[in-house]
Amino acid sequence: MKLSETQISWFRLRRSGLVKPFASPDAAASALVGVQAQILPAAALAIWNRTRGLSYPKFDSLLYEKRSLVKLWGQRGTLHIYSRDEWPLICGALAGQRIWWERQGEQNSGSREAYTATVARVAELLRQRGTMGRSDLRASGLDLDDTDFSSWGGIFAALVQRGYACHAGQDGNEGQFAHREYWLPDLEWNPPAHDAANIELTRRYLHAYGPATRQDLQYWRGAKAADACRWLAALKNEIAEVSVGGKPMLALQSDLDALGEKPPARSEWPVRLLYRFDPLLLGLKDKAWIVDTPHYKRVFRIAGHIEGTLLERGRVAGTWRYDRKDSGLAMSLFSFSPLSARVRAAVEENAKRVAQFFELPLTDLRDT
pLDDT tens digit string along 296-315? 999 999 888 999 999 999 99
- Note the pLDDT tens digit of each residue in 268-298: 999 999 999 999 999 999 999 999 999 999 9
CATH number at residue 154: 1.10.10.10
DSSP for 230-253 reads HHHHHTTTTEEEEEETTEEEEEEG
Whether 91 has a pLDDT exceeding 90, the answer reads yes
Q: How far is CA 88 from CA 92, 176, 193, 197, in A?
A: 6, 21, 10, 9
Nearest alpha-carbon partner for 31 in 153, 207, 154, 254: 207
- Residue 151: pLDDT band (50, 70, 90) is confident
Domains identified in the chain, total number: 2
Enclosing domain of residue 118: 96-183
- Note the pLDDT tens digit of each residue in 232-259: 999 999 999 999 989 999 999 999 999 9
Quote the percentage of the chain above a pLDDT of 90: 92
Helix (H) or strand (E) holding 70: strand 69-73
- Residue 106: pLDDT band (50, 70, 90) is confident
Rounded to the nearest angstrom, the gap between the alpha carbon of residue 66 and the centroid of all alpha carbons in its chain is: 20
Choosing from 164, 183, 202, the residue where a domain stops is 183
Cα of first residue to Cα of last residue in the chain, in angstroms, is: 43
Choosing from 183, 202, 218, the residue where a domain stops is 183
Give a yes or no: residue 10 inside a domain: no
- pLDDT at 69 (0 to 100): 98
Give a yes or no: residue 80 inside a domain: no
Helix (H) or strand (E) holding 258: helix 256-259
- pLDDT at 105 (0 to 100): 84
- Note the pLDDT tens digit of each residue in 188-216: 999 999 999 999 999 999 999 999 999 99
Helix (H) or strand (E) holding 11: helix 5-15
Give a yes or no: residue 221 inside a domain: no
In whole angstroms, give the CA distance from residue 63 to residue 154.
22
- pLDDT at 3 (0 to 100): 96
Choosing from 183, 215, 250, the residue where a domain stops is 183
- pLDDT at 122 (0 to 100): 96
E strands, 158-314, are 165-171, 174-179, 239-244, 247-252, 271-274, 308-312
- pLDDT at 313 (0 to 100): 95
- pLDDT at 189 (0 to 100): 97
Written as one letter, the residue type at 27 is A
- Say what the pTM is: 0.96
